[in-house]
Amino acid sequence: MRRTVLHTQAVPWSVLDGEALAALAERALDPQSVSNKPRQQLYEYAVLNDEPAWVARLAAVRFEPARGALAFAEEREVRLIETGANLVRRHYAAYEGRNFKEVLRQVAQYGPDFRNPFNQTPLMIAAQRGNVALTETLLARGADVELADNHGRLAYHHVLLRALLDAAYAAGPFADLHRLLAPPAVDVMVEERLVKLDAHLIEYFLFNAMLALMQHRLNYPKWWRVGLKVDDFVEPAHAFPESVLPERRKRRAYLSGVLARNEISRDYAYNRRLFARTSHGFYVLNPALSLRQGEGWTPIYERLNPPRIDRYLGHRERIEKIVAFQAEYARNPDAAFAALDAQFVEADPASDETPDRPGGAASA
């Protein structure tokens, strides 16, 4: 309909949506393949989306740029996207500054919600790059704030993630971008109960912040133990403007209390059951949650890690195993440890080591 009314065209390039990305991964990660073209495509997708889990898989099939990027990131202690300055300039230079005529030319040609080869919309890129003027222009031209990337993240989640990782961004364009892009509310289904998180609620902030940050942390094993802890929100929140998060809501004790009272096993009258505790002080999003998607509902981890993509990454399985272990531990610690030991032996029958215990259980 939009294409007919506005006379826009389909983009002339291939877009790595979920289905195309899964097909590309199958070719790129095949150790028998002699072609590096699909590996280069997957590598560029991984760098621009800051997903080193893909790069680790590419390194395992001896793709040298992947090995080099991982070594550089480890040596300099930087994020993957910071190793790809040339890629970032090549694909995002048009979105920087106030001279964004090329972006608007493409919008006129392909529509305001066209996808780049990495399945990102102009609004997602402009917001993540901190370009308030371009974001305002795209919204004025009809850009859809509810479109998601391959991991279910809206343009607002790209903004929130960068603010959580970059204090200068949080203190700079974040306030305006939050005002422009934050949805007025989020609807979630929790075990057949509809829960509406209005924007004024602190649960709204923590839910969206966890949704934005979890995928990033899962991609970085050195920053991921068994979930997210309150300090993952408290420390970056110091740079958040008052209009986004009032000072009284930045306190560690306050945020810790909100996480705890909305944990699935907590006996609290107003518990929204948004989070699952995976260890002492560590939380993930409740696996029983579903997010509204159009007229239907999608389980939260199918939205964040669609099965066709996650079969190569295993993020969802890691979370579900942790949550299942913690639930079993609460009922029967000995049985939980026995099951964990059995999994470890099955994975490596020759080893006589014992597996690491999730943090809360290990101290019991």
Q: What is the mean pLDDT of the chain?
A: 89
Least confident of 1-15, 126-140, 153-167, 298-312: 1-15
Cα(162)–Cα(316) distance, rounded to whole angstroms? 23
Give the β-pairing of 289-293 and 193-198.
unpaired
pTM: 0.88
Contacts of 347 (CB under 8 A, 6+ apart): none
For position 332, what pLDDT does the model report?
77
DSSP string spanning 191-206? TTEEEEEETTSHHHHH
Q: Are 315 and 323 contacting, i.e. CB atoms less than 8 angstroms apart?
A: no
Q: Are 170 and 240 contacting, i.e. CB atoms less than 8 angstroms apart?
A: yes
Q: Are 77 and 54 contacting, i.e. CB atoms less than 8 angstroms apart?
A: no
Q: Are 164 and 228 contacting, i.e. CB atoms less than 8 angstroms apart?
A: no
Confidence of residue 74 (pLDDT cuts 50, 70, 90): very high
Q: Tell me the H-state helices in 77-154.
A: 85-92, 101-110, 122-128, 132-140
For position 247, what pLDDT does the model report?
96
Confidence of residue 5 (pLDDT cuts 50, 70, 90): very low
Quick one: average pLDDT of 137-146?
98
Cα(170)–Cα(308) distance, rounded to whole angstroms? 34
**pLDDT tens-digit series, residues 199-257:** 999 999 999 999 999 989 998 877 777 889 999 999 999 999 999 999 999 999 999 99
Q: Are 142 and 178 contacting, i.e. CB atoms less than 8 angstroms apart?
A: no
Partners of 195 in the beta sheet? 188
Percentage of the chain beyond pLDDT 90 is: 74
> Taking the CB of residue 59, how many other CB atoms lie within 10 A of it?
19
Burial zone of 201 (CB within 10 Å; 0-12 exposed, 13-18 middle, 19+ buried): middle
**pLDDT tens-digit series, residues 152-166:** 999 999 999 999 999
Contacts of 311 (CB under 8 A, 6+ apart): 22
